[in-house]
Structure 1
């Protein structure tokens, strides 16, 4: 379908795809012959440039500049960790000549900073730096008053320097901040968001942002955080407090420190928009006191150190699809999943539950489970017998488990020789790796 759409778009002169670089299937982007063959003078409005080598210039002439509306760069190298260098001067000249651009997508391209000339693109609606190594945004970005989508999800190791001018982009609808901590230029205390009255999506909110401003984003529909939050003033308005103006918010993915829940144990109960939740840190209360909302679909715990078996509470969540239980989640030795529990669960992860000894699964539990991962549960004695009746189970991944868990079986032997194999023989994929001897421990 994608090829059909692209062929039709190219035939209608709506799109032009230009392969550039040194590849056996593609012409060199640096040779004059290749540039001449790729150069266009027609009225193409959208260009997709597939790069396999350093890009020194774009194969366009000035005659078609007034028609270009979309410019997309793609890295086509097989290795995803290698970026194609894009020279800054290439973009500087492009921004000056193609001032009617509506879409600019620089995907997985090596570019250290965005030229200040981007301010010339006053008609730009969409700007994406996703997967690039851009480390600095120019303050001239404030002139992009028509911008509706801004994607700043650069590579995870890049500390992006952001000018505190994003609040001037009044037409912005979707804002994707970096997933890792960014740097505010001119030592601004917090990133201002007030004034983005049309904003519907705010992704990767962090303590670098001014929390009070979120309360004024009355059109906000989707919110996610990229670090653990603990300040009640920044969290409670998102969770549907009576005085909240965020009446349109219908999808929340948030990471919370346990200290917030200790002081506000019932804060989650009325949050109908909460779909994904991560909780980290010791909780003095039992899991039932947290009052998790029924609509939650993805749940992750780490370091909570619950003393009572949490499964009787978690298995009653009617829409829970993914559950990850990380190191320090539970300090008890026995855990049980009862019949009829976890009706919608399709993914379960047990990672680093070092005190867990016995895990039982009754017949009729987790009937939609598709994938199970067990890692670093060093005292767990065996796989539950109840997994025999989970016909939907297609994947079992086991790692960093002691040799004794496998009855001294090793992955070099046939699975038929593993004494627990009969419990999961119906599973399509069984992946066992990093079997530990008694002196070894999980490096994580």
Structure 2
């Protein structure tokens, strides 16, 4: 396709691609207009938004609705409507984007069909005073004098998405399905919102507190409430609630033991992200989590836990494939590999301050595909990947291990490794024996000592000659 064709002529040409889309893909394509120009779109967020909006046709009981949504995305990619910027180790789309001219088409079609109203600096003057019957509104960047009038927020609004600092008054909303806020502060706004019987998707990067009434939204399916500015999670509900549709819950801080008994009230939870306090009874909470039979992914963090995590709490999670542990195992060994979930595919450790090399146990995890040892997860000077270990590992990331001096890779270790990233390991002195990793496709080195980087062009050049992609 010739991307040099300009203006309406180009739109007329590519609009035939839109007209050729099956009916079930057209709303999915138009929805991309709600994201700002040049925005790197997380595929999981996009497909969850589609599901919350009701775009996904789910008639096959043998397939999860998320799987069908992913197939929609793949079909749009195959039709060259979307582009893939990153795939996961398993081949699933991780991030995607859309070319400017196709985004312009999505904006045009969304406006023609009264599908979505967009407010941004480029169109603020022409639309800020407009009353609309559009059921979806997206706010992009605004200046202080460019804000649209609140009259556009009607009681029938279905979706409210904000990427700028502005978030309108949502007190009147009764039928909203989607609330997505990335930069705007919505705490007080959310306090004024009446109970909705339709809210399915909520995501905020700045929320400090969720009101108790929020948890009365029985249709909730996806909730992410991390506050990245302060590194905080929000408190969970203060009274017993039952959310039978909730599948993703991330960003909850558990400060009291009594909250742990509520996990069985969320029977469909697949992805859970929580932080616990040093007053939390870890064993009681772990036993409560084990009742979540559909749990596939768990983030578990602490605000200063002083005792080691009980690893045997994880061994019975038959369906769990992803585990992220933060601020646990302080100063201890990692424990026997048999205590981890039997089908674990991805493991991330952060600030666990391990003193003993964890590789001797982790390399026994027969299904592990991705291992990330992040900021101060290990305090030792040497990591050893022994021959025959990590038989299926495809990605290894070492980040912020300030004491690490050497990664030793024996011949026969990690035979399937495709990607290796080493970053902020400021005392690392030796380049690993990467010549043994014959399937390594990508090597990323970030913020390493200049002397370490020089090894690539010096005496250790033979260790990396076979690697197609090397970035420093």
Matches within 5 A, 1:398-437: 398-402=445-449, 404-405=451-452, 409=454, 417-432=457-472
Displacement of 1:314 in angstroms is 0.7
Does the Cα contact within 8 Å between 1:218 and 1:248 map onto a contact in 2? no
* Alignment match, 2:362: 314
Q: Distance in 2 between matches of 1:313 and 1:18?
A: 47
Q: Distance in 2 between matches of 1:299 and 1:428?
A: 26
Could you tell me which of 397, 400, 410 is aligned with 1:349?
397
* Alignment match, 2:343: 295
Find out whether 1:262 has 2:262 as its counterpart.
no
Does the Cα contact within 8 Å between 2:431 and 2:460 map onto a contact in 1? yes
* Alignment match, 1:93: 151
* Alignment match, 1:324: 372
* Alignment match, 1:374: 422
* Alignment match, 1:438: none
* Alignment match, 2:82: none
Q: Distance in 1 between matches of 2:214 and 2:330?
A: 37
Q: Distance in 2 between matches of 1:228 and 1:339?
A: 38
Does the Cα contact within 8 Å between 1:165 and 1:192 map onto a contact in 2? no
Q: Distance in 1 between matches of 2:173 and 2:18?
A: 26
* Alignment match, 2:165: 110
Q: SS state of the match for residue 193, structure 2?
A: helix
Does the Cα contact within 8 Å between 2:209 and 2:235 map onto a contact in 1? no
Q: SS state of the match for residue 142, structure 1?
A: coil
* Alignment match, 1:439: none
Could you tell me which of 114, 118, 127 is aligned with 1:58?
127
Deviations 1:267-320 (A, max 9, x none): 222233361222325545432247322333332334444443321211111232
Does the Cα contact within 8 Å between 1:48 and 1:73 map onto a contact in 2? yes
Q: Distance in 2 between matches of 1:89 and 1:329?
A: 45
Q: SS state of the match for residue 374, structure 1?
A: strand
Could you tell me which of 126, 130, 134 is aligned with 2:182?
130
Matches within 5 A, 1:211-250: 211-212=259-260, 214-225=262-273, 227=275, 230=278, 232-233=280-281, 236-237=284-285, 239=286, 241=287, 245-250=291-296
TM-score relative to the length of structure 1: 0.69
* Larger helix fraction of residues: 2
Q: Distance in 1 between matches of 2:379 and 2:309?
A: 22
Deviations 1:321-360 (A, max 9, x none): 3222245444444432122321232222233444444432
Does the Cα contact within 8 Å between 1:49 and 1:72 map onto a contact in 2? yes
Q: Distance in 2 between matches of 1:47 and 1:246?
A: 37
* Alignment match, 1:84: 142
Q: Distance in 1 between matches of 2:231 and 2:383?
A: 41
Does the Cα contact within 8 Å between 2:411 and 2:436 map onto a contact in 1? yes
Mean Cα deviation higher: 48-57 or 192-201: 48-57
Q: Distance in 1 between matches of 2:435 and 2:110?
A: 62
Does the Cα contact within 8 Å between 1:56 and 1:86 map onto a contact in 2? no
Deviations 1:189-240 (A, max 9, x none): 8643732423222122224798346424232322332646555547754x4x
57 and 276 in structure 1: CA distance in 2 versus 1, 3 angstrom threshold:
farther
Find out whether 1:147 has 2:199 as its counterpart.
yes
Q: SS state of the match for residue 148, structure 2?
A: helix
Displacement of 1:88 in angstroms is 9.5
Displacement of 1:161 in angstroms is 5.2
Q: Distance in 1 between matches of 2:289 and 2:275?
A: 25
Does the Cα contact within 8 Å between 1:54 and 1:86 map onto a contact in 2? no
Deviations 1:31-86 (A, max 9, x none): xxxxxx9998x8x3512526343725638976x73xx4x314264xxxxxxx3348
16 and 297 in structure 1: CA distance in 2 versus 1, 3 angstrom threshold:
closer
Instruction: Give ranges in structure 2 of 5+ residues lacking alignment.
Output: 1-13, 37-99, 102-107
Q: Distance in 1 between matches of 2:185 and 2:410?
A: 50
Mean Cα deviation higher: 315-324 or 253-262: 253-262
Q: Distance in 1 between matches of 2:162 and 2:224?
A: 14
Displacement of 1:135 in angstroms is 5.1
Q: SS state of the match for residue 414, structure 2?
A: coil
The structure number with the bigger radius of gyration is: 1
* Alignment match, 2:409: 361
Does the Cα contact within 8 Å between 2:395 and 2:420 map onto a contact in 1? yes
Displacement of 1:396 in angstroms is 1.9
Does the Cα contact within 8 Å between 1:74 and 1:106 map onto a contact in 2? yes
Displacement of 1:170 in angstroms is 2.0
* Alignment match, 1:252: 298
127 and 86 in structure 1: CA distance in 2 versus 1, 3 angstrom threshold:
farther
Q: SS state of the match for residue 324, structure 1?
A: strand
137 and 233 in structure 1: CA distance in 2 versus 1, 3 angstrom threshold:
farther
Instruction: Give ranges in structure 1 of 5+ residues lacking alignment.
Output: 27-36, 76-82, 433-444
Find out whether 1:165 has 2:213 as its counterpart.
yes
Q: Distance in 2 between matches of 1:264 and 1:222?
A: 21
Q: SS state of the match for residue 215, structure 1?
A: helix
* Alignment match, 1:30: none
